[in-house]
Structure 1
Amino acid sequence: MGTMERGEAAELLKKTGMIASLRGADRDRLAAAAQWLYEGGIHALEIPLNTVGAYYLIKDLRKQLPKKALIGAGAVLDAADAKAALEAGASFLFTPGIDKKVIRFGQDVKVPVYAGAATPTEVIKAWKYGAGGVRLFPAVSLGPGYAAELRHELGHIPLIAAGGIGRAQAAEYIRAGCAAVCLDCAAVTLGFSGADAVKLAAGLAEEIREALRPAEEEAPVGR
C-alpha cells in the first residue's frame, strides 16, 4: 500500500466496515471466494499466515483483484512474518496479541498494524505502542455490549471485532461502535459458491453499510 499513517488506517477501515478472512487448504478455492466477496462489495480481505500457502495467496490476490482491494495478513507473530507479508503484497497486518516489534515495523514502513487485545489495559497498551487500531479478540466471547463499554471509555481507539462472529451478529458490533468487523469467509457465504456467494456477500455488505450510517452522521470521537 506504500505510505499510510495511523489516522489514514483508521479512516480506511471505517469506510470498508468489514473484512473477510480467507483460510483453508485449497488456494484455488480461496482465490475464487475472494473474487465472489469482492464482487459482492466486500473489498477488504485478510489472509491468516497459518493458512497453507498464505504468502502465495496474497501475491495471487494482489494480481487478481482491482487495486482498490485491501489485502492484509493475519496471524502475524513477529517482525519476520510482517516483513514477508509486506513483500508478498499485504497492505495491513493483524496480530493475535501485542508485539511491539511488529507495531514498530509497521510504523517504519507506514503500513497499519491492528494488534489483538481484549482488556482495556491491552487496548491502551496497543494504542500507545502505535497500533493503527485494535483487533478486539475473541469478539464472540466478549460480545457487542463489551465493545460498546470499551468505546465509552476509549472512543478514540478504533476497534475491529474479530473471532467467531457470525453474519447474523456482524452489524451488532458496528452499532456497538466498532470501526469494522472481521468474519470468516464461510460465515459470509454460508458454503455457497458463484452467484449465490456474491449475493450473500452483497447482502451482508449492505447490512454493514446501513449499520455504519448513524455513526457517520453522528461522527463521534475516534470514528
Structure 2
Amino acid sequence: MGAMEAIRADRVLTVVRAPEIPDPVALAEALAGSGIRAVELTFTTPGVLDCLRKASGVAKAVVGAGTVLDGEQAAAAIDSGARFLVTPGIRETVAEVAAERGIPVVMGAFTPTEVMRALDLGAAAVKIFPAKALGPGYLKDLHGPLPQAELIPSGGVNAGNAADFLAHGAVAVTAGTDVVAPADVAAGRWPEIAARAASFVRSMN
C-alpha cells in the first residue's frame, strides 16, 4: 500500500518531534500496531536519517520525513527509506525532488493562495498549519473555492477535536504530541505511546 493510500484509509498520520528516538523500530511498531501506520520523523530530530533507515524496515508502518526544507534533505530522506515527505511551507525544490523520485509530498500551507500554490507544485495533499489558529471550520471555508484540495490539519489537533476536523472535510489529521509526547519517545515508553495512539484512533469515530 502506498503512503497516501495508508493515510487516506487510516485518516491519520503522526508527526514525531523528539530530541532523540532511542528505538525507531519499536516506535513505528507501537504506532502502526495501534492504527496509525503513517509515521513522520522530522529533520528537527538529530540523526533522523538513521532513524528513517531503521524504521522503514517495519512492515506495517509507512515511514516518511517531515520538516523537509530543501531538495538535498528530500533526496537524503528518500535514500534513507522515506515513503512520503512533509514540508512546513511552500518548498519548490522539495516538490521537484519528490516528483523526480515518485514520492508524494504533503506541503504545508495556510492561506488559499498557498494552498493553490502547493497544488500547482504537485502536492499529494496540503498540510494546513497551524490548524488550531482558525479551527475546523476553516477547512470547510477552504473547500468552498477549492473542493478538490485534500487537506490535512496539523498543529493543535488532538483526541478532543480530531473528529471535528474530519467532519469539516479533512482527508486525514495529524496526531502530534497528543500521541507521541517527546518525553515518552525519549524514554522509550512504547506501551504508553501505543495506548495513546489507540485512544486517538477511537476518538476519530
Give the TM-score taking structure 1 as reference length. 0.82
Q: Which residue of 2 aligns with 1:144?
A: 136
Measure how far apart 1:152 and its partner are: 2.5
Q: Which residue of structure 1 aligns with residue 36 of structure 2?
A: 42
- Superposition deviation, residue 194 in structure 1: 4.2
Instruction: Pick from 168, 174, 179 the counterpart of residue 188 of structure 1.
Output: 179
Equivalent in the alignment of 1:160? 152
Q: TM-score, normalised by structure 2?
A: 0.88
Mapped pair 1:28 → 2:22: yes
Aligned to 2:123: 131
CA RMSD of aligned residues (A): 2.1
Aligned partner (choices 84, 109, 114) of residue 76 of structure 2: 84
Greater helix share, structure number: 1
- Given the superposition, is the C-alpha separation of residues 207 and 102 from structure 1 closer, same or farther in structure 2, using an over 3 Å criterion? same
Unaligned runs of 5+ in 2: none
Task: Give the deviation of 1:206 after TM superposition.
Answer: 2.9
Q: Specify which of 157, 165, 174 is matched with residue 173 of structure 1.
A: 165
CA contact (8 A) 2:95 2:123 kept: yes
Q: What are the Cα deviations for residues 92-123 of structure 1, in whole angstroms up to 9, with x where unaligned? A: 00011112221122111111011110001110
5+ unaligned residues in a row in structure 1: which ranges?
Answer: 211-223
Distance 1:195 1:131 in 2: 34
One-letter amino acid of the counterpart of residue 33, structure 1: L
The 1:99/1:196 distance shift into structure 2, 3 A limit, reads closer
In 1: Cα distance, 2:135 partner to 2:63 partner: 26
Residue 206, structure 1, aligned to residue 198, structure 2: no
Relative to structure 1, the CA distance from residue 168 to residue 69 in structure 2 (aligned partners, 3 Å threshold; closer, same or farther) is same
Which position in structure 2 is the counterpart of 1:14? 8
Helix, strand or coil at the partner of 1:28: coil
